[in-house]
Chains A and B, each alone.
Chain A
Amino acid sequence: EPEVTQTPSHQVTQMGQEVILRCVPISNHLYFYWYRQILGQKVEFLVSFYNNEISEKSEIFDDQFSVERPDGSNFTLKIRSTKLEDSAMYFCASSAEKVVNQPQHFGDGTRLSIL
């Protein structure tokens, strides 16, 4: 069964450094998402992406965050200058269509630790 893959599985970065999290969505999917879960808290929506542009973003997704789909297969999340509070599990998801009854398929996540 096709799946969403994320790399790396664990990223350790010094505060203030830039980090790029990578995702390869399911190949025929058109809608892409990033979520994160800070330890002990709910999974939170960050951003959705369709047709090479951001569809929707949450308050968390400030100017330090950016997304792009550089080559038609990878979907990346960049955090420009990481803060301690960016430490979380980051999940990428994709869906085939935006219709209400389509599930979003998630990757295994990248655990980001900011020191």
Chain B
Amino acid sequence: ILNVEQSPQSLHVQEGDSTNFTCSFPSSNFYALHWYRWETAKSPEALFVMTLNGDEKKKGRISATLNTKEGYSYLYIKGSQPEDSATYLCALRGSQGNLIFGKGTKLSVKP
């Protein structure tokens, strides 16, 4: 059974701080890694789909890197804002297109 782990489980930062969290996954038979941003009572919002070892993707103040050989991805947020408060989910794509999710990192940014 494929297992995706995320750390930390939760994170509290001050506005303006930069932060990062980790997603770990089995490195064999890799297809793709998805990052989602999920605010309470809303739908998970797709941030990145990463497929190649060494991939780096950026969307505004949020960026992500991928290492498929060692089985991890980092998500970085530069200069955190209160509106960045959300749960950040990573998900490994299975061979049939299904997503295998981690438990998420819940980020709280205090003004």
Contacts and interface: CB of A to CB of B under 8 A. Distances in A.
Interface of A: 3-4, 31, 33, 35, 41-45, 48, 55-56, 58, 91, 95, 98, 100-109
Given A3-B43, A91-B44, A107-B43, A101 B100 contact: no
A55 B43 contact: no
Given A56-B96, A108-B41, A100 B51 contact: yes
Given A100-B32, A106-B43, A35 B49 contact: no
A45 B43 contact: no
Contact of A105 (B31, B46, B93): B46
B53 to A, nearest CB: 13
Contacts of A44: 101
A61 to B, nearest CB: 11
Q: Which 7 A-B pairs have the closest CB atoms?
A: A103-B46, A56-B96, A43-B101, A45-B98, A100-B32, A106-B43, A106-B44
Interface of B: 4, 31-32, 34, 36, 41-46, 49, 51, 89, 91, 93-94, 96-103
6 contacts: A3-B43, A43-B89, A45-B99, A101-B49, A104-B46, A105-B43
Interface of B is mostly: loop
Contacts of A45: 94, 98-100
Contacts of B97: 31, 33, 48, 55-56, 95, 98
B98 A48 contact: yes
Given A45-B98, A45-B99, A101 B46 contact: no
